[in-house]
Amino acid sequence: METFVRVGKLGKVHGLEGFLRLHLEDIYLEDVAKAGVLFAGHPRTPLPYFIESVKGGPTLLVRFEDMANREDATPLSGQDVYLRETDISEASDDQDGPDYEDLVGYQLHDTQAGTLGEIAEVLEYPQQWMAIIQRDDQEVMIPLNEVFVQSIDKGKRIVHTDLPEGLLSL
């Protein structure tokens, strides 16, 4: 099973020729150029879109194969884009700090409480990142930081935490 890493987001359609604005994290520029393909859609099963043309400048613009006009490109506007983990160079992997926003779909496992559930969403607040899980028919927010997150197993898609006592009952 392929593992995908979020590398950016597609913005609004630009012009009439099917170009989309591409908001890409700088560390992945070379990886995207080498791969020649971006994936968009659900993080577990994104669809491949082969890059036909890229324009640089103040804003990066991308056009995918079989998207010759504005109407073809519009459905992709606003979607997150991914690369296969195998397409990412080691230099990109050595970024500062964990990238919590890519943990959607991972299982959350706590040392005391056991398996808590699947991460449905990850939100960035000014103070820290928060994972949203469903537990007992309620939405529960779990802080994601270096204190609580013990390790992240990308292969098994599990986030191991050591949460403070009482946090789940808030």
Q: Does residue 82 sit in the same domain as residue 122?
A: no
Whole-number Å distance between alpha carbons of 153 and 131: 16
Exposed/middle/buried for 145, CB within 10 Å: 0-12, 13-18, 19+? middle
Over the Cα atoms of the chain, what is R_g?
18
Q: In the predicted model, what is the mean pLDDT of the chain?
A: 84
For the residues 20-43, what does the mean pLDDT come to? 83
pLDDT at 94: 46
Q: Which two tokens stand for residue 161?
A: 């935490």
Residue 168 lies in a domain: no
What CATH number should be reported for the domain holding residue 121?
A: 2.30.30.240
What is the Cα 60 distance to its own chain's centre?
Answer: 19
Weakest mean pLDDT among 8-22, 26-40, 110-124, 130-144: 26-40
If one counts the domains in the chain, the total is 2
Give the domain range for residue 140: 100-163
Boundary of a domain, candidates 61, 93, 125: 93
Give yes or no for a contact between 157 and 107, defined as CB atoms under 8 angstroms apart: yes
> Does residue 170 form part of some domain?
no
Q: What is the pLDDT of residues 102-155, one digit of tens each?
A: 898 999 999 988 999 999 998 888 778 889 998 888 888 898 888 888 888 888
